[in-house]
Amino acid sequence: MIAPASHSFLSCIQDFCDELPDFLFHSASAEPFAPLEYETECRIKNLALKRFWKLNGLPGAPQPLIPAVLPRHYRTNSKRRCVFSHGKVQLLHPGHSQQDGLRGNLQYSMLEPELHHRIYELVLEIISRPPFQFFARNLNYCIVRGGDRKAAVILNLAKIDAAIVRKLKIIASELQREIPEVVSCFLYLDESRSPYYLEAKRSEKKVGYKKLFGSSFLDITLPDGNRLLYPPTGFSQGNEAMIPTFLNTVEQLIRPEADARLLDLYCGYGLIGLFLVPKVDSMIGVEIDGPSVKAAAASAEHLYRKKEIRFIRGEIGPALIRTRLPAPAEKELLVLDPPRSGTADDVIKELARRSPLRVVHVICGTDVIPGSLQQWKSQDYLPSVIQPLDLFPGTPNLETMILLEKQS
């Protein structure tokens, strides 16, 4: 359930931006706050979230926003859509609008690392050469995963044949030679040209995946020093600089206990669960993406062989919760970090039936908060702490962690 348009978080942001002199907020832009001083951006987001809470009559009160460690040039996931028209090749940012003022054959972003820009510049230069016209016609997306020190490049193609393979090898070779920070390169075949350039919504049957060079995995280092591997095609946090803050905040809210079981839903490659598992008795993670589940299980086996850890692959719905999760533990802690659209129908109701001791619901689409809190309230769970984090600086989006506890 999403907040009505008149009470949306974006409309609250717009209200406060209208009061700023010499700043025009373009709601259709992918990064409307990028030109603004970051301190001003944080102030607007704090005020807008308070207004959003009040207008929607939500229980509790948000804590002050935890600001970003790196407010610009932080994105560790980026993409460009390839457009070939009238003999000209362009790499366009799919989220940018005309108001961003971005022109030319390559669109730049103030939120992406310089390394990403260097990669796109080189790829554009190569595919603009006359012998690469056929390749450019079949290139859906160029995707970069990683920060400013190392990155993986994924070339999403609509077709593959011998001629395209030869061109792929040239591109991979030039990337490896010209930009040493590119540690791996992959072919990703999607004949349907789906807008879901990597996500699980695209058809598995129409997708092929092949490494061209380098490591098969990317990695992330946890605050405790342990390293997790994850597949380049799996979901990962787009702001790696904030991962220590993100994980430490989850830990402070959920308050892990040595005799408790942790349920980590929408777990991805196990980022939250594998950070918290040393502090609980056992853990179960659930995720729909198969390669991410395999990576999570491999990390668990490597790091915590003696711990009781289980990962389940499946789409999270009431049926999975009823039939594939074990009976509730005497003491159960629940963390769920669903996609921006929120949980499926009756997921919250089914989870509440397990009577978890504490719940941390991580929400990245602010407008789903009213509907989610209403569902928890109907099951006697109310928020005791509401902690927003600025995981998406430069944009009108927030990550909000809500600690929910059952009312006696």
Candidate from 185-199, 239-253, 386-400 with smallest mean pLDDT = 185-199
pLDDT of residue 38: 98
229: amino acid identity, one letter: L
> Does the structure show a pLDDT above 80 at 406?
yes
pLDDT of residue 192: 86
> Does the structure show a pLDDT above 90 at 207?
no
Domain boundaries, given as residue ranges, for the chain: 77-216, 239-406
388: amino acid identity, one letter: P
> Does the structure show a pLDDT above 70 at 95?
no
Of the options 2.170.150.20, 1.20.140.10, 3.40.50.12280, 2.40.50.1070, the CATH number for the domain spanning 77-216: 2.40.50.1070
Diameter of the chain measured on Cα atoms: 71
Of the options 3.40.605.10, 3.30.70.1520, 4.10.110.10, 3.40.50.150, the CATH number for the domain spanning 239-406: 3.40.50.150
Local structure of 13: helix, strand or coil: helix
What's the average model confidence in pLDDT over 368-381? 97
Between strands 282-287 and 308-313, the pairing is: parallel
Mean pLDDT, the chain, rounded, equals 92
Q: What is the DSSP letter of 344?
A: P
What's the average model confidence in pLDDT over 365-391? 97
pLDDT tens-place string over residues 295-351: 999 999 999 999 999 999 999 999 999 999 999 999 999 999 999 999 999 999 999
Instruction: Calculate what percentage of the chain has a pLDDT beyond 70.
Output: 93
Per-residue pLDDT band at 195 (split at 50, 70, 90): confident
pLDDT of residue 5: 46
Name 367's Cβ contacts closer than 8 Å, sequence gap at least 6.
Answer: 2, 3, 8, 9, 10
How distant is the alpha carbon of residue 181 from its chain centre?
22
**What residue spans of 158-281 are helical by DSSP H?**
162-178, 243-254, 271-276
394: amino acid identity, one letter: G
Phi, psi of 227 (to 5 degrees): -115, 130
If we measure between CA atoms, which residue out of 110, 53, 124 comes closest to residue 78? 110
> Does the structure show a pLDDT above 50 at 100?
no
